[in-house]
């Protein structure tokens, strides 16, 4: 890889705690501070790494490890402050470079108003199955920017191609920030060779990159796991960002997963698609499907395993499980960090006709503004949960309300469609205690005897959500 020798050497963790200085989000911030959680050099809450990323990864035949997107062998990254944000001193761009061609898959927003980088990536990945680099900027989403925005994406790609010495068709782009604003190219372009010159494979670099891509996020989302596949230790690392405008449809806000498995391109695309459907597509903060949702997954092949060519082989299934676990951990971290949230809400639906039906019902519950506000207010208003399950549509097979069973945390509220006498004080206490530690409020719903199961994750609706979005300056 070519590096710009004249570029100034910068700390990979450059950028600072804009999170803390520029914002105050009430209870959540106070909760974080009360626990004495400090900021890393990388400029965001230390909290980000441990409980938000790793702790939300479902358990399975893997262990969590350090390193974020750098945990997987074959990748180098950097974060840098080019000066794209309206204010603050935090880094605003990140670069991930694969040492060699990496198998690559991507899923993107279904929004008609998709951003220029989304159109760019879809075109790139339509032509080939590998990629070398992913460049991400925060500050401006480069969405609804017309022809000028498309030209900016091409110019960015050209600049990175020259800085890295890789072909333009090997480059992918993501943007996040204000819609309708062009990227500040006068500041971004000079930053690109600096980023390219400073990539490295280290935990610090991975943390810096994960911090640089945040916007209204209070914590960064990053994690890594290691799984034994056929006697070979395969590593999966990931990072994501997102806090508002979260209601992904076929992708997430911004997510990037690195893996060092050797895997056939068609297998990798299939399991990426399935993992995205079971994770990022099952979260919502505010029901708004972004213009920029993008998930890109790389597999470098550096782990040394025998190439996985069958998605249904034991190795293929295990890789899919591991990728799904990573995506779920990141997706849940986004919902946990939903704008203004005081908790993560997890809805588990069982007994549906099939998994898709169960997922639709689960999504409907975690999207309900009324249920979300009730949980924020520690009000066990279970009628709103039942109501949201009931209007879920389009479900292939509508359930019968006589089959509904509903449990909030440890407390059963409804069975066979009949409301139960329950201890409302205890139910309220469960909500108060769970939100008090920014924990997970669990809603279990059974809608019948079918085999379908599904999960979805959201967050509560607080005053701070309104405050953040009423005051987010265009």
Residue 394, token pair as written in the block: 């389009």
Choosing from 156, 290, 440, 455, the residue that interacts with its own copies (CB under 8 A) is: 290
Tell me whether residue 1 or residue 178 sits nearer to its own copies (CB atom).
178
Site for its own copies in 226-265 (CB under 8 A): 244-245, 247, 249
3 state DSSP class of 334: helix
252 is catalytic: yes
Applying CB under 8 A, which part among 74-82, 209-217, 273-281, 384-392 lies near its own copies?
384-392
Applying CB under 8 A, which part among 130-138, 228-236, 258-266, 409-417 lies near its own copies?
409-417
Q: Alpha carbon 350 to chain centroid distance?
A: 25
Least Å distance between CB 352 and its own copies?
12
For residues 332 and 51, the answer to whether their CB atoms sit within 8 Å is: no
Choosing from 262, 272, 282, 462, the residue that interacts with its own copies (CB under 8 A) is: 462
Interface size with its own copies, residues (CB under 8 A): 74
Tell me whether residue 141 or residue 194 sits nearer to its own copies (CB atom).
141
252 is in an annotated binding site: yes
Check binding of 439 to its own copies (CB under 8 A): no
For residues 408 and 430, the answer to whether their CB atoms sit within 8 Å is: yes
Site for its own copies in 167-186 (CB under 8 A): 178-181
Give the single-character DSSP code of 211: H
- Helix segments in 90-182, DSSP class H: 116-127, 146-164
Check binding of 389 to its own copies (CB under 8 A): yes
Least Å distance between CB 404 and its own copies?
7
Tell me whether residue 54 or residue 379 sits nearer to its own copies (CB atom).
379
Q: Which residues contact 240 (CB under 8 A, 6 or more apart)?
A: 221, 222, 252, 253, 254, 255, 256, 330, 331, 333, 334
Q: Which residues contact 370 (CB under 8 A, 6 or more apart)?
A: 381, 384, 387, 388
The distance in angstroms from the start CA to the end CA of the chain is: 38
Tell me whether residue 10 or residue 115 sits nearer to its own copies (CB atom).
115
Angstrom distance (rounded) from CA 124 to CA 131: 9
Considering the candidates 252, 258, 297, 434, report the single residue annotated as catalytic: 252
Least Å distance between CB 427 and its own copies?
9
215 is in an annotated binding site: yes
Choosing from 231, 393, 421, 425, the residue that interacts with its own copies (CB under 8 A) is: 393
Choosing from 6, 59, 312, 473, the residue that interacts with its own copies (CB under 8 A) is: 473
Residue 364, token pair as written in the block: 């409907």
Least Å distance between CB 379 and its own copies?
6
469 is in an annotated binding site: yes
Check binding of 449 to its own copies (CB under 8 A): no
Q: Which residues contact 238 (CB under 8 A, 6 or more apart)?
A: 68, 69, 222, 223, 224, 255, 256, 257, 258, 326, 327, 329, 330
Least Å distance between CB 216 and its own copies?
11
What are phi and psi for residue 201, nearest 5 degrees? -100, 95
Check binding of 147 to its own copies (CB under 8 A): yes
Residue appearing with tokens 């909500």: 431
Choosing from 124, 145, 216, 353, the residue that interacts with its own copies (CB under 8 A) is: 145
- Helix segments in 381-462, DSSP class H: 382-390, 424-436
Site for its own copies in 72-111 (CB under 8 A): 109-111
Tell me whether residue 118 or residue 311 sits nearer to its own copies (CB atom).
118
Q: Which residues contact 200 (CB under 8 A, 6 or more apart)?
A: 12, 76, 77, 78
Site for its own copies in 17-76 (CB under 8 A): none
339 is in an annotated binding site: yes
Angstrom distance (rounded) from CA 143 to CA 290: 10
Choosing from 9, 34, 59, 471, the residue that interacts with its own copies (CB under 8 A) is: 471
- Residues designated catalytic: 252
- Summarize the annotated binding site for substrate as residue ranges: 215, 241, 252, 339, 469, 474
């Amino acid at each position: 890889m070519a590096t710009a020798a004249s570029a100034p050497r910068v700390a990979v963790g450059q950028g600072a705690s804009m999170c803390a200085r520029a914002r105050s989000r009430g209870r959540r911030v106070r909760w974080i501070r009360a626990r004495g959680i400090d900021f890393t050099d990388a400029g965001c809450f230390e909290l980000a790494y441990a409980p938000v990323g790793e702790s939300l990864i479902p358990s399975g035949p893997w262990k969590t490890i350090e390193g974020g997107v750098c945990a997987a062998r074959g990748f180098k990254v950097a974060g840098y402050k080019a000066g794209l944000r309206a204010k603050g001193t935090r880094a605003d761009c990140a670069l991930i470079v694969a040492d060699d061609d990496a198998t690559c898959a991507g899923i993107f927003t279904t929004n008609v108003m998709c951003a220029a980088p989304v159109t760019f990536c879809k075109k790139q990945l339509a032509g080939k199955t590998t990629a070398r680099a992913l460049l991400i900027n925060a500050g401006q989403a480069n969405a609804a920017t017309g022809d000028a925005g498309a030209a900016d994406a091409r110019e960015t790609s050209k600049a990175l191609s020259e800085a890295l010495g890789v072909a333009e068709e090997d480059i992918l782009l993501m943007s996040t920030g204000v819609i309708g604003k062009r990227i500040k190219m006068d500041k971004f372009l000079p930053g690109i060779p600096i980023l390219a010159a400073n990539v490295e494979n280290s935990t610090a670099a991975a943390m810096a990159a994960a911090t640089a891509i945040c916007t209204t996020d209070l914590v960064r989302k990053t994690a890594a796991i290691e799984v034994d596949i056929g006697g070979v230790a395969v590593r999966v690392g990931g990072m994501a960002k997102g806090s508002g405008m979260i209601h992904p449809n076929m992708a997430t806000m911004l997510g990037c997963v690195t893996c060092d498995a050797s895997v056939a391109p068609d297998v990798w695309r299939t399991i990426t698609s399935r993992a995205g459907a079971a994770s990022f597509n099952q979260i919502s903060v505010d029901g708004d499907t972004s213009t920029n949702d993008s998930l890109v997954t790389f597999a470098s092949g550096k782990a040394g395993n025998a190439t996985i060519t069958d998605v249904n082989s034991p190795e293929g299934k295990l890789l899919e499980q591991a990728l799904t676990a990573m995506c779920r951990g990141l997706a849940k971290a986004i919902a946990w960090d939903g704008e203004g949230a005081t908790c993560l809400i997890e809805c588990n639906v069982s007994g549906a006709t099939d998994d898709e039906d169960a997922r639709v019902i689960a999504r409907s519950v975690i999207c309900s503004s009324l249920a979300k506000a009730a949980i924020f207010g520690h009000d066990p208003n279970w009628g709103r949960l039942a109501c949201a399950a009931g209007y879920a549509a389009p479900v292939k097979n509508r359930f019968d309300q006589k089959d509904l069973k509903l449990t909030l945390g440890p407390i059963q509220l409804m069975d066979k469609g009949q409301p139960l006498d329950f201890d409302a004080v205890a139910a309220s206490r469960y909500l108060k205690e769970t939100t008090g530690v920014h924990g997970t409020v669990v809603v279990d719903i059974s809608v019948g005897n079918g085999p379908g199961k599904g999960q979805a994750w959201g967050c509560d609706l607080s005053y701070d959500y309104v405050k953040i979005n009423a005051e987010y300056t265009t």
